[in-house]
Amino acid sequence: MKLRILQVNALPVLLLCLFTMYGLRAESPGQFVPGIKSERNFLRQAPAYSGISFAVIVFRDVGWSEAEITDVIAEASRIYARNCHFTLDVTSIRFIEIDARLHHLDEAMQQRLLVELGDIDRPIVFFIGATSANDAAYAYLQGTVSPSQGTAWLSRQATTQCRGPLLAHEIGHIALQASRHSRQPGNLMRDSCHSSNISNQSINTDLNQQQCQTLWSRYTP
């Protein structure tokens, strides 16, 4: 399996990093930048800064545009900002050219891909075309023996409405170190918005106090 790794244009990366790193960053405990406000009293306990950093790798020629990627990450960022004053920081974005076989990815192909990509700090978020199992998105917890550990995968099989919440959900599995789904109505970690047809599904975007405190304890410098 041969890969050619391409760097995305520097300007969109700079704009994306500025947006996710500064546009949604807390200015002081319990005080957030304009447009991201919450009436939750427990957010007064929020640290001045808490956030998770991750790299982004995009499969080229499967349909993702730079604008779509920016929008999806921005929507996921707003979910964490609104709920927990928690930041998603993008450290790098790379586009890779892939063999046509990877247009429908299975787990064995995915693990070979990760070996070929080499040593990249985790977590990594992949924007892919499709999977052989027709999964819209999935994630692997960090710190396990699996070659896939610390990775989240978002496919174009997810509907446009679901992409931001789905990315936030999969990052949540990694950030919260949680393999199971929540049963709490409306909770981001409830299993929902996962298929190509969301007509009978809700889009859950809430995080509770315990989840926020877990994020702060794990990702506050």
Question: Is the residue at 162 inside a domain?
Answer: yes
pLDDT 10s digits, 166-188? 999 999 999 999 999 999 999 99
Is the pLDDT assigned to residue 37 strictly greater than 60?
no
Residue-range definition of the domain harbouring residue 207: 4-24+45-219
pLDDT 10s digits, 123-166? 999 999 988 888 889 999 998 888 899 999 999 988 888 999 99
Question: What average pLDDT score do residues 43-56 get?
Answer: 91
Is the pLDDT assigned to residue 26 strictly greater than 50?
no
Residue of 215, 52, 57, 219 whose CA lies nearest to 125: 57
Q: d(Cα 90, Cα 205) in Å, to the nearest integer?
A: 20
Q: Give the C-alpha distances (Å, rounded to integers) separating 194 from 65, 102, 173.
A: 21, 21, 14
Question: Is the residue at 29 inside a domain?
Answer: no
Domain count across the chain: 1
Q: Is the dihedral of CA 26, 28, 31, 33 positive or negative?
A: negative
Question: Is the residue at 40 inside a domain?
Answer: no
DSSP structure class, residue 200:
T
Q: d(Cα 96, Cα 157) in Å, to the nearest integer?
A: 19
Question: Is the residue at 76 inside a domain?
Answer: yes
pLDDT 10s digits, 95-126? 888 887 778 888 888 888 888 888 888 999 99
Peptide bond into 185 cis (omega under 30): no
Q: d(Cα 85, Cα 90) in Å, to the nearest integer?
A: 16
Helices (H), 9-95: 10-18, 66-84
The CATH number of residue 179's host domain is 3.40.390.10
Question: Is the residue at 93 inside a domain?
Answer: yes
Question: Is the residue at 33 inside a domain?
Answer: no
Q: Give the C-alpha distances (Å, rounded to integers) separating 206 from 36, 50, 59, 170, 172.
A: 14, 18, 30, 14, 11
CA of residue 216 relative to chain centroid, distance: 17
Question: Is the residue at 32 inside a domain?
Answer: no
Question: Is the residue at 104 inside a domain?
Answer: yes
